[in-house]
Amino acid sequence: MKANKLFIAPAIACLAASLAAGTVQAKEVVVRIGHAGPLSGPAAAFGKDGENGARLAIEDANAKKLQIGGDTVKFELVSEDDQADPRTATTVAQRLTDAGVKGVVGHVTSGASVPAARIYENAGIPMITPSSTSPKLTQQGYKMTFRVIANDLQQGNALGKYAVEQLKATRIAVIDDRTAYGQGLADAFANAVKAAGGQVVGREFTNDKATDFMAILTKVRAANPDVVFYGGMDAQSGPLTRQMKQLGLTAKFLTGDGGCTGEMIKMAGDALSATTYCTQAGIPLDKMPGGAAFRTEFKQRYGSDIHVYAPYSYDATMALIEAMKVANSVEPAKYQPALKALNAQGVTGPLAFDQSGDIKGGAITVYNFSGGRWAPLQTLQ
Amino acid sequence: METLLQQTLNGLVAGSIYALVALGYTMVYGILGLINFAHGEIVMVGALVALQTILFLSSAVPGLPPLVLLLAGVVVAVPACMALGYLIERIGYRRLRNAPRLAPLITAIGVSFLLQTLAMIIWGREFHVFPQLIDTAPMQPVAGVVVSPMQIFTIVVAFTLMGGLMLLVNKSRLGRAMRATAENHRVAGLMGINANGVIAATFIIGSGLAALAGVLFASNYAIAHYSMGFTPGLKAFTAAVLGGIGNLPGAMVGGLVLGLVESFGAGYIEHLSFGFLNSSYQDIFAFMILGAVLIFRPSGLLGERVADRA
């Protein structure tokens, strides 16, 4: 018995020593990744959704015990509330940079992303927005700005092609509300219509506070269009479709994501029909390559359903981590080129960026009004 | 041709609502020389109170006919706005009656902000759907013009109210007191007229008209929310100036002209300017007309200070 004890003790010591040597060889480093979005205020649900997606991606990555640059990397999420407010967004961006994050997922809203992008650019930290669709964001010419969702221009383009090629429209009237969003969308739409061989028979304008569209619609009606497109928000497209009906204007109605909402259904009432179409950037969860699995995993982790953009925020986080893996470095300056040249498969589809940082072949889904809700019809790449 | 007629109809509908609101501005200006900037908010309160009543009634007593619901909305909204108009005058403006003119003007802007913020707290920021209790579906086209019962209703109600107001001001005892107070409220007081009572009555009548205009506006466009009063208020003020502020028939003519100018502006500005301008200049077009009128007739279309101003 005694002899046995004596033999075991050195054996344990030996084992412990070899284990210790192992950890010294690949030490664990903590890499912080920032997430910024509204966690309070009316858009809070979108921000929380984005945060959940990013956290899930980080937990998945940590479970794999990734080796980057010879170290085992442990990712840590630093989440900040930008209240969807441009000024708060810049403060938050500064705070994230000061906290030494190696990359940022966000911001969620375009109004916050655009001013924040400059701060990340100056600090040399890549940001990937999961949900800001304003074309302005990637038009600033920044090297550190990326986006995993189709922008409004891509949306207008896809919809213009859809109107001519799928809806077989030849005479198209275009109305917008003269906001950066509405005008950008409508211009992209009109250009795509012309490129596809359709004819723009009317180009009318209103504003984002208007309620009376009878005069411009009367003018549009005289041009006898078979499709009317509106670039703007639901508060206008609701009354606008009602007034189309009132004037006996039976053309199909198309609008972008600003009118692709529950509010639009409420405001437009019985003026909606199967010939009312709208688009959303991205694809419905069921149609995503990894959609079903992601839904289950998300539900298991958080006990709630995905709001909208969680898969995009998951992919944005994964794109950062993937680029770090490829470059074998967590330093932004080193992995930024790898991010630019990334070619990976995400939950929402292929992840690859074009020259300006926009996703290549970003998907747009066309919905029409059917059975009291927006039903997905077709996904355009 | 049918487009021209359709645009005329569009203009008349919008214009008759502007005219109803413009009357409130012009009556108060005629008597006090005060531009009551809070008047547009009364339009909003009228629409939202009517909406609240209609929603409450239709859930409390299901199966009421639409016209009864609308009438109930009006019956609650009009007295509510009349009371509000009285309160604004009593609390906000009466003490400033002899103050420099700038003081009540700034108070009016303050009251406007106050009402908007209160409405935002009570009814929230979101857009509400106002039930279209009178049909807005187009009827059989007449000469290519589609008209809905709601549009006819709007024009008829607006013209009836304007006619009623003219009768009240020109024929009744109260109307005579109003005209006398408008001439000079101190002298009218010496002649035994209760000037404060007459001024309060002016606010009450104007607010009642604004409440009705609010209900008509909301029913036409199926929309109601806390800042809906701002734009019609501004347009109606423009209409009042266009017709000659302080002049009742002027406000009516101004409202209708403004509605028509806007409608034709949106419809024809592109042709008139050979494609140089487009419908985003709709509002500018209306203000250009206002500018032109004020250059050639500085006191408005029908003149600012005429004998029967109220």
Task: Band the pLDDT of A333: cuts 50, 70, 90.
Answer: very high
Alpha carbon distance B260, B254 (integer Å):
10
Nearest CA in chain A to B149: A246
State the pTM of this model: 0.81
Grade residue B274 by pLDDT with cuts at 50, 70 and 90: confident
**Is residue B268, in this structure, part of any structural domain at all?**
no
Q: What local confidence, expressed as pLDDT, does residue B309 receive?
A: 43
- Report if residue B128 sits inside a domain: yes
Q: If you average pLDDT over residues A242-255, what whole number do you get?
A: 93
Structural domains of chain A ordered from first start:
28-149+287-351 (3.40.50.2300), 153-281 (3.40.50.2300)
| B136–A239 CB contact, under 8 Å | no
Contact assignment for B13 to A205 by CB distance below 8 Å: no
Q: Is residue B79 part of a domain?
A: yes
Statement: residue A20 has pLDDT above 70? no
Tell which wins on pLDDT, B16 or A307: B16
At residue B304, the pLDDT reads 67
What percent of chain B shows pLDDT beyond 70? 98
pLDDT of residue B305: 56
* pLDDT value of residue A203: 92
Q: How confident is the model at residue A2 (pLDDT cuts 50, 70, 90)?
A: very low
pLDDT bucket at B310, cuts 50 / 70 / 90? very low
The interface predicted TM-score (ipTM) is 0.89
| Residue corresponding to tokens 């759907």 | B129
Q: Answer for the pair B158, B152: CB distance below 8 angstroms, yes or no.
A: no
pLDDT at residue A262 is higher than 90: no
Q: What is the pLDDT of residues A167-186, one digit of tens each?
A: 999 999 999 988 878 888 99
pLDDT tens digits for range A35-85: 999 998 778 888 999 999 999 999 999 999 999 988 999 999 999 999 889
* A306, pLDDT greater than 50: yes
**At residue A281, does pLDDT exceed 80?**
yes
Checking if the pLDDT of A23 tops 70, the result is no
Q: With an 8 Å Cβ cutoff, are B146 and A247 in contact? A: yes
pLDDT value of residue A6:
47
Return the SS3 of A38.
coil
Domain membership of residue B22 (yes or no) is: yes
The more confidently predicted of residues B310 and B158 is: B158
Please name the residue that has the structure tokens 């020389």. B33
Section A350-355 average pLDDT: 93
pLDDT band at A26 (very low <50, low <70, confident <90, very high): low
Residue B189 lies in a domain: yes
- Residue A3 pLDDT: 46
- As a whole number of angstroms, the distance between CA A115 and CA A88 comes to 10
Find chain A residues with C-beta within 8 A of B265's C-beta.
Answer: 215
Whether B105 has a pLDDT exceeding 70, the answer reads yes
For B225-235, write each residue's pLDDT tens digit. Answer: 998 999 899 99
CB A184, CB A137: distance < 8 Å: no
The per-residue pLDDT for range A5-19, each reduced to its tens digit, is 445 554 455 445 444
Residue B124 lies in a domain: yes
Q: Are A96 and A34 in contact (CB under 8 A)?
A: yes
Q: Are strands A103-106 and A28-37 parallel, antiparallel or unpaired?
A: parallel
pLDDT, position B33: 87
Largest CA-CA distance found in chain A, in angstroms, rounded:
106
Tokens found for residue A296: 């289950």
- Whether B87 is in a domain gets the answer yes
List, for residues B172-219, the tens digit of each pLDDT value. 999 999 999 988 888 898 999 999 999 999 999 999 999 999 999 999
| Measured CA distances, A141 to A283, B64, B145 (Å) | 27, 61, 52
Structural domain of residue B76, as residue ranges?
13-229
Q: Which residues of A touch B233 (CB under 8 A)?
A: none
User: How far apart (Å, rounded) are the C-alpha atoms in residues B292 and A36?
Assistant: 52
Q: What is the pLDDT of residues B43-83, one digit of tens each?
A: 999 999 999 999 999 999 888 899 999 999 999 999 999 99
Nearest to A209 among B220, B231, B264 (CB): B231
pLDDT at A176: 93
Given CB atoms, is B228 within the 8 Å cutoff of chain A?
Answer: yes
- Residue A22 is predicted with a pLDDT of 47
Residues A205, B69: Cα–Cα separation, whole Å: 36
Other Cβ atoms closer than 10 A to A72? 14
Is B194 within 8 Å of chain A by CB?
Answer: no
Residues of B in contact with A42 (CB under 8 A): 125
The answer to whether residue A25 scores a pLDDT higher than 50 is: yes
Which residue in A187, A204, A205, A212 has the most chain B C-beta atoms within 10 A of its own C-beta, making it the best mutation to test that interface?
Answer: A212
The whole-number pLDDT of residue A362 equals 84
Which chain B residues contact residue A248 at CB under 8 A? 138, 141, 146
pLDDT tens figures, B235-247: 999 999 999 988 8
State the average pLDDT for chain A.
89
Contact (CB<8Å) A204/B129: no
> Is the pLDDT reported for residue A24 higher than 60?
no
* Of the partner residues B137, B223, B266, the one whose CB lies closest to the CB of residue A216: B266
Q: What confidence score (pLDDT) does residue A68 get?
A: 92
Residue B215 is assigned to a structural domain of this protein: yes
Q: How many domains, chain B?
A: 1
**Tens digit of pLDDT for each residue in A145-157?**
999 999 988 899 9
Per-residue pLDDT tens for A177-217?
888 788 889 999 999 999 999 999 999 999 888 899 999 99
> Which one, of A108, A262, A257, A282, lies nearest residue A184 by Cα?
A257
Does the pLDDT of residue A342 top 90, yes or no? yes
- Distance, in Å, from the CA atom of B279 to the CA atom of B204, rounded to the nearest integer, reads 38
Range with the poorest average pLDDT among A119-123, A359-363, B102-106: A359-363
* Rama region for A84: left / alpha / beta (φ>0; ψ in -120 to 50; rest): left
Average predicted confidence (pLDDT) for chain B: 90
